[in-house]
Structure 1
Amino acid sequence: MLTLATAVLLAGCTDVGVDPESDASAENVFTDDSSYEAYLAKLYGGLNITGQQGPAGNGDIGGIDEGFSQYMRMYWSLQQLPTDEAIIAWQDDGIELLNTHTWDENNQFVRGMYDRIFFQVSQSNEFLRQTTTDLLEGRGNSQQVIEEMPQFRAEARFLRALSYWHGIDLFGNIPFVTQEFERGAEPPEQATREEVFNFVEDELLAITGEAGDTEEVLPPIGDAEYGRADRGAAYMLLAKLYQNAEVYIGESRSNDVAEYTSRIIDSGAYSLEEEYHNQFLADNEFSPEFIFAIPHDGERTQHFGGTTFLGNAALGGQADDFGLSGWFGLRTTSAVANRYDSDDTRPIFPNTAGDQFIQEGRSKEITDIADFGGGGGYIVPKYQNVTSQGEPGPNNTHSDVDYPVFRLADAYLMYAEAAVRGAGDLNRAASLVNELQERAGLPSDLTADDLTLEFILDERSRELLWEGHRRTDLIRFDQFTGTDLDWPWTQRENFSSEDFRKLFPLPGSELRANPTLEQNPGYSSAE
């Protein structure tokens, strides 16, 4: 861990115009063979842990509470809180503005996500700089390290591509740097969404062996160690990129969505979890449905984000029943509650009285966003820190529930959407959706004629509730902004949102530090 911490110091500066300060040099750190795998672990850890010690006290990024700063907590907040699926009671500076579409370029949660993305990119670039064959041979690293490095580098490229996808999805035109960028030189220039889209596409095609011009490839689909990326994860990221291509570059890529989701579905590497809720419990590791997941451990990966946040923030005084402490924050809206058939078992969570969501003593309608107890909205105990056998996790604050980034049910629905949009086989799409219906306790009698875009959007909300997809889905279906949003916030009658809200602003602090950047339309420092 000391080696890892030293290595991180070498790359931990996110201001590319300033040389990092450290008494250690790369030549000293990287002569140790174990340092490379430790550094790769840090890249994966960047999606999970928040700093060097845990749960807080030595954070990776500054300017924000370390607990807020966890990567997937930031991403989830920007993907869910501005939508019809989630409301949060807290009044921390700027978080309520996500619920009401009134954020600006100084919002700390927008800035925190931006910083997390580019911290990951910076770390990945440094790993790629330090792991060329020439450097490895020059340092006298072992032949074993030299032979395993192409896969390590492919994994780093995947993680960088994942963050760059998040970057163009959330922010549009963003600064763009690779390992070729000269540190300490001029600030990076802004690339267009299309340029970064093309880079991410090329990277993913390369590391899956599609391009045929690199030895740096991920393990075959289904062959990676749990929590690490293989070609299945890369195929899923490609499909996500293509699914939203019309938003990003004005071009439909539904045929590619059908192609890459079919590879995942047909691989035989994954299968639907028999019990839906087992995917969100403390022993969900190795779920046959997970394509890529972020492991959480209540003892060894302590922080206040991820499923620790999602589990605790959704609970109040009843938290002990779910192996958690309860933070009195999140609940859902009547739009979500009304979306489920009365026989649908997905919102009937374990360790509850059997109602869809927790309803006792609560109104379905939100009457006061800031009042968790009396302001309405059903409770969603989806991420429970108890096992499928009812045993609590080892820590009642820090969750053992792994976070599913990509899972098979999503691939099913992505294929179905592509088919409705004119790619793929509609009959096969109906069969896949029927598998999800059957697991949900519903009749599995859908036909191709029953599949419409509106049904797919609603089914994505039902199946993938609170999994970090909703904002992107609504934008793709052109239902995130406008004057007729039917989102049930009683204190915001005739709710509407301007089209520029489809992108978040670049942080004001970033604009001041890098004068080459241009703010997204609709935002200015005067807001």
Structure 2
Amino acid sequence: MRKVNIYITLFVIAFLLLPFTGCENALEEKTFTTLSPNDFLTNEEDVEVLLNSVYGVLRYSDITRDAITLNEVNTDIHIERNGGIFAANELMEEFIWTSSHSYLQAWWELRYKTIYNANVVLDNVPDVDMDEDRKEEVLAEARFLRAFSYYLLYDLFGPVPLIVSSETAVTDRPARASKEEMISFIENELIFASEILPVEPPRNEYGRPTKGAALGILAKFYMMTKKWNNAADTSLEVMGLGKYDLFTSGNRTALFSPENQRDNEFIFVANMSDTPNDNTGSGWLSHVVPSGYQWQYPPRAIFAAEFKLRTEFLNLFEADDERLDAILFEYVNANGDTIELGEDDARSLKFPEYPNQDISRDSGDFPFLRYADILLSRSEALNELNGLNQESVDLLNMIRDAAGVSIFNVADFSGKDAFRDFILDERGREFHTEALRRQDLIRHGKFIETAIGRGKSAEDFRVLFPIPQTEIERNTSLIQNEGYSQ
């Protein structure tokens, strides 16, 4: 068996036990100090523990906060005020971020940590004596998670170094891949994973990637790179799996409630722990609610930081849109006073309180991909390919009908451009607080335009973030993105 080249330490093992549930046998936690290859990775059980380490970084407690900062505070949806994180968010809001921004550094490091852990699996699991069918799935899961991490990096930074071996040292990192190399790698890895992964989660453990997840992220990547034919066709493949549907069993906002957390609309999520006080749940709500807010499941912390929704964005909603029920417009404080939240002060409670929580975190999953996104992606792609058409409008209507608002006929739109603009607005209404807005605005060519409309001095080069300065200093082969200092 090929040896694991870097000793697996307690730092890695701390992430190992992803809260997968749904299997009969819970993952058994082992206690380790420092492990050598002779002590570890000798059987299938060890492989599963190692694979779970790849998932660990996806569920860190501040993923929602960080993703919103990087992908919505610089758009027409969110602003953030107060608290220790205001300085970092102000740079995003004002379009004056630099390569030293701490959130960019953290995002880069977390994605490459996942990539490294996936590479350890891919380098060493082929030599383990275990069930061959499960081994094939393990390798496909690792390749999906590595490709997904590169997808997230490409979205923010453009082409980055492609590291495909755990042997690559920090001092020996490669230069950035070309755009063509990067696109080809992500596409091919997701295609490979989609051919191996089953429709149902491997081992029946919720949170693991499936065929639908691989195809769905591939469809999203085709949208990002404007390969409209591929995006339309791959979205249709996901629809044809017969696995997913829209949540229509109540108010649209109930999709994110504890009882519907595993609804078939969710295709791939960061699966947070249901165990109180394990320090891995989401900390989003403590960054959102105003001082004096009365929790449903106290005690719970209210941080000084406050993420708020722009009134201009909320004006995109029709008055009877069920999705507005996820917005806090007023609340009753401890004194019984009703406090109305005014201009640019409403809050997104899209991810509601969960009964399983500690003082600042709960177990609500963060959605990376929902079936609604697949439907709207195909709708948009078909409009780009064929102009205004019946199927695109029908797909849009499925989302709107689920939200309890008016539906449309083809004749209600003046043409391709008008429908494109409406799709962008609909995506905002449907996916706010899910960190998709920046990507959507860039794809529609409106990220910089809308920022300028808000009075920001937004230069065109800011459609990409800068490579973090620490990485430039660590890897002299890296060339900074255009517009940013080296």
Measure the CA separation in 1 of the matches of 2:261 and 2:135: 26
Structure 1's 37 and 347: CA in aligned 2 closer, same or farther, altered over 3 A? same
Matched, 1:114 2:108: yes
Structure 1's 300 and 261: CA in aligned 2 closer, same or farther, altered over 3 A? farther
Aligned pairs (5 A) from 1:297-446: 297-299=273-275, 302-303=278-279, 308-316=282-290, 317-321=292-296, 324-327=300-303, 328-349=305-326, 360-365=339-344, 377-386=345-354, 392-422=355-385, 426-446=389-409
Which runs of 5 or more structure 1 residues have no equivalent in the other structure?
A: 13-21, 50-66, 210-216, 246-251, 366-376, 387-391, 488-493
**Cα distance per residue 1:376-413 (max 9 Å; x no partner):** x2122111114xxxxx3354532121111111111111
Measure the CA separation in 2 of the matches of 1:335 and 1:347: 14
2:481 partner SS? coil
Measure the CA separation in 1 of the matches of 2:53 and 2:212: 22
In the other structure, the counterpart of 2:29 is none
CA contact (8 A) 2:461 2:483 kept: yes
Structure 1's 9 and 222: CA in aligned 2 closer, same or farther, altered over 3 A? closer
Measure the CA separation in 1 of the matches of 2:78 and 2:405: 25
1:87 partner SS? strand
1:101 partner SS? coil
CA contact (8 A) 1:430 1:448 kept: no
Moved over 6 A (4+): 350-354
- The code of the aligned residue for 1:364 comes to E
- The code of the aligned residue for 1:283 comes to E
Q: CA deviation at 1:186?
A: 2.4
1:279 to 236, 242, 255: 255
Give the helix-richer structure, 1 or 2: 2
- The structure with higher relative contact order (CA 8 Å, sep 6+) is 2
Matched, 1:188 2:188: no
Structure 1's 27 and 403: CA in aligned 2 closer, same or farther, altered over 3 A? same
In the other structure, the counterpart of 2:419 is 452
**Cα distance per residue 1:114-161 (max 9 Å; x no partner):** 1111111111111111111xx21xxxx3x43x4411101100100101
Measure the CA separation in 2 of the matches of 1:221 and 1:257: 22
Which runs of 5 or more structure 2 residues have no equivalent in the other structure?
A: 1-5, 14-32, 332-337
Q: CA deviation at 1:180?
A: 7.4
Aligned pairs (5 A) from 1:82-101: 82-89=74-81, 90-92=83-85, 93-101=87-95
2:151 partner SS? helix
Query: TM-score scaled by structure 2?
Result: 0.84
1:452 partner SS? helix
Aligned pairs (5 A) from 1:224-263: 225-245=205-225, 252-263=226-237
In the other structure, the counterpart of 1:267 is 241
- The code of the aligned residue for 2:161 comes to P
Query: TM-score scaled by structure 1?
Result: 0.78
In the other structure, the counterpart of 1:249 is none
Matched, 1:206 2:192: yes
CA contact (8 A) 1:337 1:364 kept: no
In the other structure, the counterpart of 2:27 is none
- The code of the aligned residue for 2:311 comes to S
Matched, 1:7 2:8: yes
CA contact (8 A) 2:266 2:370 kept: yes
CA contact (8 A) 2:228 2:381 kept: yes
In the other structure, the counterpart of 1:64 is none
CA contact (8 A) 1:222 1:232 kept: no
Measure the CA separation in 2 of the matches of 1:378 and 1:191: 42
CA contact (8 A) 1:413 1:456 kept: yes
- State percent identity of aligned pairs: 27
In the other structure, the counterpart of 1:126 is 120
Measure the CA separation in 1 of the matches of 2:386 and 2:124: 42
Measure the CA separation in 2 of the matches of 1:6 and 1:300: 31
Measure the CA separation in 2 of the matches of 1:232 and 1:508: 36
In the other structure, the counterpart of 2:431 is 464
Measure the CA separation in 1 of the matches of 2:411 and 2:165: 47
**Cα distance per residue 1:278-322 (max 9 Å; x no partner):** 222223332121111222235268447x7x232221112224136
Structure 1's 426 and 382: CA in aligned 2 closer, same or farther, altered over 3 A? same
2:161 to 152, 175, 178: 175
In the other structure, the counterpart of 2:73 is 81
In the other structure, the counterpart of 2:335 is none
Q: CA deviation at 1:344?
A: 1.1
CA contact (8 A) 1:483 1:497 kept: no
Moved more, 424-433 or 277-286: 424-433
Measure the CA separation in 1 of the matches of 2:201 and 2:47: 23
Q: CA deviation at 1:522?
A: 1.2
Q: CA deviation at 1:515?
A: 0.6
Paired residue total:
446
**Cα distance per residue 1:442-498 (max 9 Å; x no partner):** 1223436536110000000001111110000111111111487333xxxxxx32300
CA contact (8 A) 1:291 1:407 kept: yes
2:368 partner SS? strand
In the other structure, the counterpart of 2:448 is 481
Measure the CA separation in 2 of the matches of 1:502 and 1:77: 15
Measure the CA separation in 2 of the matches of 1:128 and 1:10: 20
